[in-house]
Structure 1
Amino acid sequence: MSDSSRSPVPGQFTVVLHSHLPWLANHGRWPVGEEWLYQSWAGSYLPVFAMLRRLADDGLADQLSLGITPVLAAQLDDPHCAASMYEWLADWQLRATEAATSADADRRTLGAREYRCAADAIAEFESQWRHGGAPMIRTLASSGVMELLGGPLAHPFAPLLDPRLRRFSLTEGLADARARWAVDPAGIWAPECAFAPGMEDEYRSAGVGHFLVDGPTLKGDTALGRPVGDSGVIAFGRDLVVSYRVWSPRSGYPGHAAYRDFHTYDHASGLKPARVTGRTVEAKDKRPYDPQRADAVIDRHVDDFVDQIRRRLVDESARIGRPALVVAAFDTELFGHWWHEGPVWLERVLRRLPEAGVRVGTLASARRNGFVGTPVDLPASSWGSGKDWRVWNGPQVQHLVQLNTEVTETAVSAVEKVLATGGPTRSRIADQIVRETLLTVASDWPFMVSKDTAAQYAVDRAHKHAHATREICDAALSGRDEQAARLAANWSRADNLFAGLDARRLPTIDAPGRARG
């Protein structure tokens, strides 16, 4: 990098990461279920949080905005998940040991490398995660190295949600963050970046100061945060030019021939032995992964991305006539789980950007530092296909849309009756009805169906939680209180997340469209 390229450029660059998985505990293991959690934990959460600790130890602040959904946070703190994760890491090391004793030289090399990786992951887990994620996340948040973003409880597609449940899931989700991390998030990552006009007022009422939308929601003009209407709540837009530099399935960095291939497995061990080699190369013809070859490519991609950020800040600042903001936003699981080299790339980017004259900050610091423009009215939108709602309410998932509507209506009616007849004390029956309803309407299930990724698992999960909701409601509405209590207790053994959820805080409706409570 030349000396001229190190001169300061105007504006600020912000990385936003969205950490999310649906509730997987106690709902299957393989090929879809808890395995998904443990792969992401080992591949992404361990290295990404280790990176943040290193940055904090070096005195760096405001490095990125990190969203952790309440449903993922619950799993990272869950004793069953922690114990099972420890077992999963040990199994990884055992599989690597078996590969390391193979007669095949490539498998022996693979096994030895994976054994070392598993040993490092076990040491990291034992020292930082054995008591759940909350203690470490609290420490990182208090260090100032990152901004924590909150979100609604179980990751619903909010625009399609009954407004009572939508308000409840948001306020309870923010309360969950406060209880876990002693943080009141000033911002959120709305699930799927989904928005409907009027939601900005709900954000303001809940104390949310800023949130993220996809670039097309702001018609591509993402160079500043924009207040939504007269709410004072700021919408920040994802810059697709820089985000797709990484995330594009056709030309993004993770597809480089030298990087580890996500889809190719050594079936005897379950380990990933190959590099991408080429986009049209069959799995059986892919070449063995070589970390040294990949490392050199990481540095080239770091330099390319840093140069891209510099140019984008200069161009956007010139276009708007003032220092601009550039926001790159990704799923956290991209880094490590999907893109093996991603955490190393991200740390090198964050360390190299200031050396290249680029100011790094969070969404919160962008607000503080005035990277905010004039008010705007936002359309209905998301970051899904078409940038509308089709992934979550299109023809393929109409059966789930109808299911969600019916279950929500049944649940709210039952909760009102249970609370009306049970006195002022907390009702575990009502709590579990709400809990199962929230799991039913999670945005993950229609997404998986629309994208045909483990679609049957998604349908089964939606209907399982709908069944749980309905049978508890049926017993409660029929006056079979003991049976309702027994059913609620039984279902809570599997779905025991959100201990602070209190159905008494669920709003009721005074008139169409106006919530109370």
Structure 2
Amino acid sequence: MREDVYARDIVGLRETGRPREAAALETLRETYRAAGRDFDARGGDVASALLRHGAWTSSATHAVLPLLATPEGLHRQLDGGIAAHRARAAGRWDGGLWLPECAYDPALDGPLADAGVRATCVELTDALGLGAPGHLRPYRTPHGTTLLPIDRVLMDLVWSDGAIPAADAYRDSHRRTTFDLLPWANDGSPWDPERARARARSDAAAFVAAARERVRDGGTAVVALDTEFLGHWWLEGPWWLEALLDEAAAQGLELVHADAAAAGATDAPPLPDAARGTTTWGTPRTLWTWSGPQVAPMAWRARELELQVVARGADATPRAWRELLALQSSDWAFLRTRRTAGDYPDRRSDSHAEALDAELHALGSGSPAVRHLAPFLDGDAARSPSACAS
């Protein structure tokens, strides 16, 4: 089907006198084909192939953890994500966990440690101030988990309005063809891969120079970017990253994996009092994106249904837990707040809530499976949440 879409748009562009746009799509079609070959060569298991580059996991369905209503619900989210990671990594997990939406609250310290989390990232920009030296050092919770502050000074160079990906040469991710393809650059010209790659190299050099300046007096700047940002929203992101690695070596900038940064932080201090609150990387850096008035009914419904599932105790079925996990995904509230997907987030949230309500009224009446979600729930609804990670 995708091949047909490319073919139709390429022909259409050529017939309407836009050969350069057609040539751009031909290049992009080859990129698509190469990705397909790589996907097939890995047996369709992209996640396992990526594990040698990153060993962190997250919660089961990217729920905003400070918004969960019960310890049981929190354990299910944490254990579900950890179990899924271990299933793909032959049981190996080194304790790194990404907090969904970078949402942290000191109340999570105990549960995170109990789940085996040894390192995670936190967003302290508003608490400490943009550019403050405190962002360049790790902290440690009373329970032993290392907290790595992300550094907005560097991250905003590539992930903010008008940042590097908005440069003229890069592909425009908004202007689309008849069949929803993207052959134009940000300046309106046909996308040129050589021009874009050259820009990626120069931008990588500038970024490394900025990073060197940022840590000139010592410390570690943590740069955390969504995976889909590099390659999906920013097509040239992987080229930029590749050039960045070369530039770091050339300019003498040491790159450190987050696990290594956390492992060397055994004497890290506790969070400063100013940072001991609830923070996210949302806009603003609070829970508002996922619990403000625009999504309050959605948020309260998820909490109410979580209480109902937990109240069933051992009688709660795998189907009930799976629908609850799906309902708790941060995506539904995020998309509704941003108004970028029409009524899609409402329909998805409603469908999971309705399915969960139906299951609670007739436990065991529905299929236990929900599109391969949380396969660790193997039908033994009586076992404790912590056993899910075994």
Global fold match (TM > 0.5) = yes
SS at match of 2:298: helix
1:497 aligns with 2:373: yes
Query: Contact 2:39–2:45 (CA<8 Å) still a contact in 1?
Result: no
1:470 aligns with 2:346: no
Extract unaligned runs of 5+ from structure 2: none
1:115 aligns with 2:29: yes
* 1:160 pairs with one of 59, 67, 79: 67
* 1:367-408 per-position Cα deviation (integer Å, ceiling 9, x unaligned): 233486311252111110121111111111111122112211
Extract unaligned runs of 5+ from structure 1: 1-86, 278-285, 318-322, 420-429, 477-483, 509-517
SS at match of 1:460: helix
1:292 aligns with 2:190: no
For the residues of structure 2 that align with 1:391 and 1:382, how far apart are their CA atoms?
Answer: 9
1:379 aligns with 2:277: yes
The structure richer in strand per residue is 1
Q: 1:211 to 1:453 in 2, by over 3 A?
A: same
Amino acid corresponding to residue 159 of structure 2 in structure 1: W
The 5 A counterparts of 1:170-209 are: 170-182=78-90, 183-209=92-118
Query: Contact 1:223–1:326 (CA<8 Å) still a contact in 2?
Result: yes
Query: Contact 2:57–2:98 (CA<8 Å) still a contact in 1?
Result: yes
User: Residue in 1 aligned with 2:264?
Assistant: 369
Q: 1:113 to 1:202 in 2, by over 3 A?
A: same
1:95, distance to aligned residue in structure 2 (A) = 4.2
* 1:345-372 per-position Cα deviation (integer Å, ceiling 9, x unaligned): 0111012202211111111111233486
SS at match of 1:386: coil
User: Residue in 2 aligned with 1:342?
Assistant: 237
* 1:102 pairs with one of 15, 18, 21: 15
1:107, distance to aligned residue in structure 2 (A) = 4.0
Query: Contact 2:327–2:352 (CA<8 Å) still a contact in 1?
Result: yes
Aligned Cα RMSD in Å?
2.2
Query: Contact 1:258–1:289 (CA<8 Å) still a contact in 2?
Result: yes
Query: Contact 2:146–2:265 (CA<8 Å) still a contact in 1?
Result: no
The 5 A counterparts of 1:475-486 are: 475-476=362-363, 484-485=364-365
For the residues of structure 2 that align with 1:309 and 1:107, how far apart are their CA atoms?
Answer: 36
User: Residue in 1 aligned with 2:56?
Assistant: 149
Query: Contact 2:314–2:383 (CA<8 Å) still a contact in 1?
Result: no
Q: Which 10-residue stretch deviates more, 390-399 or 92-101?
A: 92-101
1:313 aligns with 2:189: no
1:91, distance to aligned residue in structure 2 (A) = 4.3
For the residues of structure 1 that align with 2:84 and 2:25, how far apart are their CA atoms?
Answer: 41
For the residues of structure 1 that align with 2:44 and 2:200, how far apart are their CA atoms?
Answer: 33
1:215, distance to aligned residue in structure 2 (A) = 3.3
Query: Contact 1:93–1:119 (CA<8 Å) still a contact in 2?
Result: no
Query: Contact 2:315–2:382 (CA<8 Å) still a contact in 1?
Result: no
User: Residue in 1 aligned with 2:170?
Assistant: 259
SS at match of 1:327: coil
SS at match of 2:225: strand
* 1:240 pairs with one of 142, 152, 157: 152
State the TM-score, normalizing by the size of structure 2.
0.89
For the residues of structure 1 that align with 2:26 and 2:385, how far apart are their CA atoms?
Answer: 56
For the residues of structure 2 that align with 1:411 and 1:147, how far apart are their CA atoms?
Answer: 34
User: Residue in 1 aligned with 2:49?
Assistant: 136
* 2:182 pairs with one of 268, 272, 292: 272
User: Residue in 1 aligned with 2:286?
Assistant: 388
Amino acid corresponding to residue 275 of structure 1 in structure 2: A
Q: 1:308 to 1:499 in 2, by over 3 A?
A: same
* 1:245-276 per-position Cα deviation (integer Å, ceiling 9, x unaligned): 111212x1001111110001111x42212111
* Structure 1 segments (4+ residues) deviating >6 Å: none
SS at match of 1:385: coil
* 1:148-196 per-position Cα deviation (integer Å, ceiling 9, x unaligned): 1111111111111022101221023212211111221411110011112
Amino acid corresponding to residue 375 of structure 1 in structure 2: P
Query: Contact 1:266–1:272 (CA<8 Å) still a contact in 2?
Result: yes
* 2:340 pairs with one of 431, 453, 456: 453
* 1:68-112 per-position Cα deviation (integer Å, ceiling 9, x unaligned): xxxxxxxxxxxxxxxxxxx54x44554465457635223432343
Query: Contact 2:21–2:190 (CA<8 Å) still a contact in 1?
Result: no
Query: Contact 1:211–1:235 (CA<8 Å) still a contact in 2?
Result: yes
For the residues of structure 1 that align with 2:334 and 2:100, how far apart are their CA atoms?
Answer: 12
The 5 A counterparts of 1:427-442 are: 430-442=317-329
1:124, distance to aligned residue in structure 2 (A) = 2.0
SS at match of 2:224: strand
For the residues of structure 2 that align with 1:194 and 1:349, how far apart are their CA atoms?
Answer: 28
1:199, distance to aligned residue in structure 2 (A) = 0.5
1:125 aligns with 2:27: no
Query: Contact 2:21–2:191 (CA<8 Å) still a contact in 1?
Result: no
For the residues of structure 2 that align with 1:258 and 1:107, how far apart are their CA atoms?
Answer: 14
Amino acid corresponding to residue 418 of structure 1 in structure 2: D
User: Residue in 2 aligned with 1:418?
Assistant: 315
Amino acid corresponding to residue 165 of structure 1 in structure 2: G
Q: 1:135 to 1:194 in 2, by over 3 A?
A: closer
User: Residue in 1 aligned with 2:122?
Assistant: 213
Amino acid corresponding to residue 304 of structure 2 in structure 1: E
How many percent identity over aligned positions?
Answer: 28
SS at match of 1:353: helix
Query: Contact 2:167–2:186 (CA<8 Å) still a contact in 1?
Result: yes
Query: Contact 2:324–2:353 (CA<8 Å) still a contact in 1?
Result: yes
For the residues of structure 2 that align with 1:103 and 1:375, how far apart are their CA atoms?
Answer: 64
